[in-house]
Structure 1
Amino acid sequence: MKTYLLAGLAALCVTGSAFAQVSGEGGPIRVMADRSEVLERESKVILIDNVDITQGDARLRADIVTLEYGENGGTTTSGLGSGFGDIETMTARGSVFYITPELKATGDLGVYDATTDTITLFGNVVLVRGEDVGKGERLTMQLTEGRTILDGKDGEQVNLVIIPADENGQ
């Protein structure tokens, strides 16, 4: 089991800029999980139970996180996991929490797409920015554009609570 965990962690550490979107500031990535499975033929790493990924000031927590890699085109690091390319998608399932200093977002399912630099949360989504709270069915965060879209469930509206600043600007 240690071999799988080491290979999975090594694969995470050599992914290059695609994985850096856990935090826009980049830097070392800390990964914790109860179990790790490396599926080399499928270019996947699956992190299972109590998954906690931190990078800089950002944190992703979920029950299961699946990392899917592209073809080995951009990875220049040698060693364990070096046969993988950059991460194409990262899918978090079950009790998904994405936290940065600016926001806290939760949902049932979260998907990061590296090609569009987009994080999408689905199912029972709650977004908190400061004291403002939004609830809906799907949250799309287009990171490059700095755009956030919250959609309601079919036929339902989003629910927003916006707390205006007081006269002191706070």
Structure 2
Amino acid sequence: MQQSRSTGSAAHTTADRQARGARRGTPPSGEPRNACEPRASSLSWSFPGTPADVACSRHWLAMAATEMWGDCDDTDRLVLAYSEIATNAVVHGAGPVTVAAQICPTSARCEIADQSSRLPRARHAAPADVGGRGLEMVQLTVDRLQVAADRAGKTVSFEVGRQAGRQKG
């Protein structure tokens, strides 16, 4: 996992988060960098940070990915990674949680931001442990994972590329 730290304002406003994102290469509109046009789905939302919020936003992302890619393994990889990272933001971070996703015919990129600067870390769960496998699953599932943090919070971003010929089954 790549990690980077940058300095920034301690303020927790939408404008500050957008400015922080712009410093990391995200347009002020909240859309992920490397936007793929012309046929792309852009999604963004912000929520207080409850498990119900994660479930609802996961459903929206799954619908958009299925519309773009169909019901396939790549859609499952994208939704699994999102669910784990968004859940970590709710459980271990601080709300509100903001999300930006760009789904293109050949790839997808998601950015999940919360207001905690505490960096995620992979654990090695014992077989009997109930949790502790999420970040490791994400690392095995996505093509790229990055964490950027400053005093105003952190953003976890990941990319999933389409893998030709992989149908769900």
TM-score relative to the length of structure 1: 0.25
Rg comparison, structure with higher value? 1
* Structure with the largest fraction of helix: 2
TM-score relative to the length of structure 2: 0.25
Higher relative contact order (CA 8 A, sep 6+): 2
